[in-house]
Structure 1
């Protein structure tokens, strides 16, 4: 089934960016590595299960896939809106760069959706009411937050992965997200791509716990995610 997933996804292209076949080949996706990363902490729920109206990410590797899928949905929706409503004064170069990032995030999102099949969580409802999409500083500020969050989320969840193929794939995806983060940071302030807010004294990128990631993402989602069944160690 995984081979079929990759074959179907590779057929065609999203938007004006890199063809999916080329992009997925660049990631090195294989039929044995149809999953990705991260996990979430247990929510405080006296009933022991998902709160009413929330979306249960699931357990084990399926839950990890769904958590990654949720993050990619959020990023793809954001960059999709940026493309639909370009901010005032956007240059042709900026427009193309942001469209390329959008296409990468859409490719990530669609890959996870196909890999999960009927175990995928539903499409998420986003909440972008606090973002001024007409303002460059607002858009790039949120893009920076999303990209830094995504990188730290993948980094923080590596220890929770039980399948070595998934860990390999996670490393390839997080490297793409880190390229995005570096680009966005330099669009805001040249040379800030690896400052001490994301790189520690040991030269290592920041890693965030699933609980912190969900807390940071929550204001941008109408949907409520629940990860009480996911691994924590």
Structure 2
């Protein structure tokens, strides 16, 4: 299957996730205990996990927006379309989670991309690899913390698209390395929210509190 068609199908998967949960609302279990003063609190329960995912999708959408605006000239025509598709997918994920959270959504985060050289192809691709691998590990680790089966289904649909992103970015860096993240069991890694947020922190100016997330 050609890459362009491949990503159209991946985008359709994200759209299907939106349709799945249009009638589902977040749980009302936010408990703002242990607040970190001056930080944006993600909340607790399923709401907190969705806000956690929303924060990561904000970061990825902001990154690919910058790539499309500043870096397309570094890529050939096929690669340019891939970058535009990745931007589109991450914006779908971001906007879907924001709509699902409604009034419980955290505000827009301020990102920090000063360490990224958007005029250097290697810098752009390696940053993309970092974000995509981190996104896959984040969804894999957070799935078990969700109570609502509908949210778990939605997360599964999103992480499958994120894994496609991770694979195509790895192949753009070095052809044939698309599955290098898999362990000896053929499984991608999983990371808990505290570790993911620590890894993402250099790219986010807004201080985030995850103190109330499920453990």
Normalized against structure 1, the TM-score is what? 0.81
Check conservation: 1:127, 1:220, Cα contact below 8 A: yes
1:206 corresponds to = 189
Q: 1:150 aligns with which of 132, 135, 149?
A: 135
1:168 aligns with 2:153: yes
Give the distance between the partners of 1:33 and 1:190, measured in 2 at CA: 42
Deviation beyond 2 Å, 4+ runs, structure 1? 21-29, 31-36, 48-52
Matched, 1:224 2:207: yes
> Which residue of 1 is the match for residue 92 of structure 2?
107
For residue 88 of structure 1, report the CA deviation from its aligned partner.
4.9
**In 2, Cα distance between equivalents of 1:201 and 1:22:** 31
- Residues 89, 230 of structure 1: alpha-carbon distance in 2 compared, 3 angstrom cutoff: closer
Cα distance in 1 for partners of 2:121, 2:25 equals 34
| CA deviation vs aligned residue, 1:195-217 (integer Å, no higher than 9, x gap) | 1xx21111111111111101110
Residues 9-158 of structure 1 aligned to structure 2 (within 5 Å): 22=12, 24-27=14-17, 29-31=19-21, 34=24, 49-86=34-71, 88-158=73-143
Offset of 1:29 from its aligned partner?
3.4
Shift, 1:49, TM fit:
2.7
Match of 1:45 in 2: none
Q: How does 1:176-195 map to 2 (within 5 A)?
A: 176-195=161-180
Unaligned runs of 5+ in 2: 1-6, 27-32
Query: Quick check: 2:44–2:213 contact (8 Å CA) kept in 1?
Result: yes
Output one character per residue of 1:62-118: Cα deviation in whole Å (capped at 9) or x when no partner.
Answer: 111111110100000000000010155321111110100100000110111111111
Tell me the matched-pair count: 202
Calculate the TM-score normalised by the size of structure 2.
0.87
Q: Larger % of helix: which? A: 2
Superposition CA RMSD, Å = 2.2
